[in-house]
Amino acid sequence: MAEIEENKVRGIISAINGPVIKGTNMTTFKMREMVMVGKNRLIGEVIVLEGDVGTIQVYEETEGLKTGEEITPTGRPLSLKLGPGMLKNMFDGIQRPLEKIQEISPIFIPEGIGLLSIDEEKLWDVTITAKPGDVLLAGSIFGSVQETKVIENRLLVPPNISGTVIEVSANGSYTIIDTLVKIQDGKNEIHELKMAHDWPVRTPRPSAYRRETLVPLITGQRVIDIFFPIAKGGTAAIPGGFGTGKTMTQHQLAKWSDADIIVYIGCGERGNEMTEVIEDFPKLIDPRSGESIMERTVLIANTSNMPVAAREASIYTGITIAEYYRDMGYAVAMMADSTSRWAEALREISGRLEEMPAEEGYPAYLPSRIAEFYERAGSVETLGGDDGSITIIGAVSPAGGDFSEPVTENTKRFVNVFLALDKSLAYGRHYPAINWLESYSGYIKILSDWYEDNVAEDCIDLRNKMLELLYEENKLQEMVMLVGEDVLPDDQRWVLEIAKIIKVGYLQQNAYNKDDTYVPLEKQYAMLKSIEYLYEKGRSGLKLGIPTSQLKDADIFGQFIKMKYTIPNDDLSGIDRLKDTIDTYYDALFKKYEN
C-alpha cells in the first residue's frame, strides 16, 4: 500500500539496540516519518533526527537485523487507513488485521509481513448522497455504507480537504480504494474521495468545537451509574493491583455501555484475554440493538509479548479510530487496558535512547503524553455538524498496587472519574472491587440535572445519603475492630446492618449472572430506594426503643441481599411487594412496642 519512490535517498543502519535502531545518511528523512527497515522491511518510525543520524523505533522484532542494511522512507507519518471494515475485527498495534496475519502465518506472528490494513478487496454497497455542484466541506458526509448490522459507516470527506463536487459515481458495489466522488478545491486542484482515507495517528482529528458533557454513559453497573457516573465524552481511570479485576471491569463496560461504538485496546495484556473477547463478544446480545455486541466493536491487541514499540503506538491507533467514528456523529467509548503498559513502553524506548529519567525511570514527558491522550476524549460538534463524543476509560496497573506511583498519580490529574480497585475487597470476592471511599466522579454536579429528569427527582440526593452512610460505617468499623460490635449503641448498629445490605446486595454485582450482569437504571434506582426505605423504617423503630436485633429480620434481610437475582430487570413489581413485606413486618413490630 505505501508506494515507495524508488529514487528516494535511503538510510543505512548503523546501530541496533533492541527495538531502537540508528541509521546514517538520513538528512532527507522527516521526524515521525514511517520507514521500512532492513531487507525484511520491518516497519518503524523516526523518533530522533540529529545531523544525518536518525533514530528509529521498530514495531517488529529486530533479531536478525544487520548494520549496513537499508532504511527506506515512505514519505508519510505512521498513519491508519480509516474506512469500513474495522468493526468486528481485531488489529495489532499498527492496525494490521490479525486475521490476515494468521493467513500468512497460522500460529505465530512473524516479522517482515509488511504493512497490511483493512480489506481493500471487499465490495461494499455504497449509497452516495453528494450531487455534482454540491459544496463539500472538510469532514462532511458524502455517502454511506452499512458497515455492520447496526452501524452505518458515514463516508467522510477527509478533514483536510474541501471543494465542489464535479463527478459522482453511481450507487453500487465498490472497494474502499475505488474513487466515488471527485471534488475541486479553491485552487482548482482535484481530489478523489474514496470510502477510506489515511490519517496520521499522532495528530488529533479536528472537530468544530467542544461541547459540555451532559449525558452519562450508562453502563448497567450499579456502583458506576449511581455512585460514580462517567459522562459521555468524559474520562475515567480504573487503577488496581493485579487480581483486583481491572480487565473484568473493562470487559463489563465494553459489553454493556450504551455507546454506539466500542474501541477496545488490549495494550500489553494477556493473549488469552483477547481470545476471550473474540469468543465471548459475538455471543452477547446488545440490549439496545438486539444484535451481537461485536457488531459495534473494534479490537486492538498488542499483547504483552508483542513488540514493545507497537504497544506505544497502539493507544494512538485506538484513539484515532475512535475519532474517526466520532466524526460520523457517533458516541464512542474507548477502553484502554492497560495505560500503564503504554507508559512502560515509553519508558523502555526512552531508556534505550539514554534520555535522562525522571521518577522511577519514566521519561520526564510522561505527564504531558498522558494529558495529550486523555484530552482527545470529549463531546464535540463534528466538522459535519453532528454530535459526536469519545469517552476514554483507561485501566492503570500501579506497580505493587501503590497508587502513589507516577502513572497513577499523573493519570489522576487528567481524568474526572477515578474508580479505585481495592485488593482487600477482591480478596473477599467483592466484585466489582471498586472502593467507594477512594473513588470519585467529577461529573456528579453537571449530570445531576440529567438524573433528576430521567431517573428520579431525588436520585442524586439518595446517592449522597447512601454514600454518607457508607462513610459512617467505615468509621464505625474502626471502632468495632477495637471494642467489638456489641458495645455500639443501637442506632449505630443499624447503620452497620444497612451498610452490609448496600455492600453485599447493591455494590456487589455478579457479572456471571444473566440478570445482574447488566441492570437498567430504573432498577438500580428502585433497589437503592428500597434499601433507604428499610433504613428509615428501622430508624423509626429505634425511636420507639426497639433494639437492632429485633429490627433485623433474617427473612427480610435475606430478600434484600438476593433482590438483585430475584427481581427481574423488566418487572420491578417485586420491589413494591418487598416494601409491602417491610410494612407488614414493621407495623406489627411497632404495634407491639407501642403497647
Partner 1 sequence: MKRDYLKIDKVVGPLIQVSDVDDVFYGEVVDIVENSTGNVKKGKVIKIDGKNVVIQVFQNTAGLAAGNSTIKFTGEAFNLPMSLDLQGRIFNGIGEPIDSGSDIFSMVEANINGRPINPMAREYPRNFIQTGISSIDTLATLIRGQKLPIFSGNGLPHNELAAQIVRQAQLGDDVDEAFGVVFAAIGVKHDDEKFFRKSFDEANVMDRVVMFVNYADDPIAERITTPRCALTAAEYLAFEKNMHILVVMTDITSYCEALREISSAREEVPSRKGYPGYMYSDLASLYERAGMLHDRKGSITFLPILTMPNDDITHPIADLTGYITEGQIVLGRDLFQRSIYPPVAVLPSLSRLMKDGIGEGFTREDHAEVANQLFASYSRVQEVRDLSQIIGEEDLSQTDKKFMTFGRAFEAEFLNQGFDESRNIIESLDLGWKLLALLPLAELDRLTPEMIEKYLPQDE
Nearest distance from C-beta of residue 435 to partner 1, angstroms? 16
Q: What's the alpha-carbon Rg for the chain, to the nearest Å?
A: 28
Segment contacting partner 1 (CB under 8 A): 27-35, 115-123, 482-490, 519-527? 482-490
Instruction: Tell me which residues in 412-471 interact with partner 1 (CB under 8 A).
Output: 427-429
- Closer residue to partner 1, CB minimum distance, 211 or 552: 552
Binding status of residue 308 toward partner 1 by CB under 8 A: yes
Site string for partner 1, 351-370 (x = CB under 8 A): x--x--x--xxx--------
* Residues paired with residue 193 on neighbouring β-strands, in sequence order: 181
- Cell numbers for 355, please give them: 534520555
Cβ contacts of 486 within 8 Å, gap of 6 or more:
none
Other C-beta atoms within 10 Å of 305: how many?
10
Residues 205-244 binding partner 1 (CB under 8 A) are 241-243
Does residue 282 bind partner 1 (CB under 8 A)?
Answer: no
Could you tell me which residues are annotated as the binding site for ATP? 240-247
Round to whole Å and give the CA distance between 98 and 89.
8
**Using CA atoms, how far apart are residues 92 and 593, in angstroms rounded to an integer?**
69
CA 479 to chain centre: 39
Check binding of 483 to partner 1 (CB under 8 A).
yes
**Separation of alpha carbons 329 and 429, rounded Å:** 40
Among 135, 399, 437, 544, binds partner 1 (CB under 8 A): 399
CB of 398 to partner 1, least distance (A): 9
CB of 1 to partner 1, least distance (A): 21
Q: Could you say which of 7, 51, 66, 594 contacts partner 1 (CB under 8 A)?
A: 66
- Does residue 594 interact with partner 1 by CB under 8 A? no
- Near partner 1 by CB under 8 A: residue from 7, 51, 68, 594: 68
Q: Which stretch binds partner 1 (CB under 8 A): 13-21, 74-82, 167-175, 288-296?
A: 13-21
- Counting contacts by CB under 8 A, is residue 409 touching partner 1? no
Q: Does 62 bind partner 1 (CB under 8 A)?
A: yes
Q: Which residues of 156-181 are buried (b: 16+ CB within 10 A; e: fewer)?
A: bbbbebbbebeebeeeeebbbebebb
Cell triple for 12: 543505512
Using CB under 8 A as the criterion, what x/- string covers residues 181-200 for binding partner 1?
--------------------
Contact 25, 5 (CB under 8 A): no
- Give φ, ψ of 164 to 5 degrees: -100, 135
What's the grid cell of residue 165?
463536487
Q: Are 13 and 65 in contact (CB under 8 A)?
A: yes
Q: Whole-number minimum distance, CB 76 to partner 1, in Å?
A: 27
Is residue 188 within 8 Å of 177, Cβ to Cβ?
no
Smallest distance from the beta carbon of 74 to partner 1, in angstroms? 22
Q: Specify the stretch interacting with partner 1 by CB under 8 A; choose among 153-161, 367-375, 479-487, 576-584.
A: 479-487
Residue 64 as a binder of partner 1 (CB under 8 A): the answer is yes
Site for partner 1 in 84-143 (CB under 8 A): 90, 98-99, 101-102, 105-111
Residue 434 · residue 228 · CB < 8 Å: yes
Beta carbon of residue 188, minimum distance to partner 1 (angstroms, whole number): 47
Q: Binding-site residue total for partner 1 (CB under 8 A)? A: 76
326 to 62, 161, 258, 483: CA distances (angstroms): 36, 18, 14, 56
State the DSSP string of 383-404.
Answer: TTS-EEEEEEEEEE--GGG-TT
Among 15, 166, 285, 544, binds partner 1 (CB under 8 A): 15
* Contacting residue, 409, 458, 485, 516, with partner 1 by CB under 8 A: 485
Q: Which of residues 508-567 bind partner 1 (CB under 8 A)?
A: 512, 554, 558, 561
d(CA 278, CA 273): 9
List, as residue ranges, the binding site.
240-247
